Amino acid sequence: MPDTIDDIKKRMKELEVLIRETQERLPAHSMKPPVMVDLLEYEDEYDILMKKLETIEDNKS
At residue 55 the predicted structure's pLDDT band, cuts being 50, 70 and 90, is very high
At residue 10 the predicted structure's pLDDT band, cuts being 50, 70 and 90, is very high
Output the pTM of the full model.
0.85
Q: Which domain holds residue 28?
A: 5-60
Structural domains in the chain (count): 1
Q: What is the pLDDT of residues 21-54, one digit of tens each?
A: 999 988 878 778 899 999 999 999 999 999 999 9
How far is the C-alpha of 31 from the C-alpha of 51, rounded, in Å? 29
Q: Is 19 helix (H, G, I), strand (E, B) or coil?
A: helix
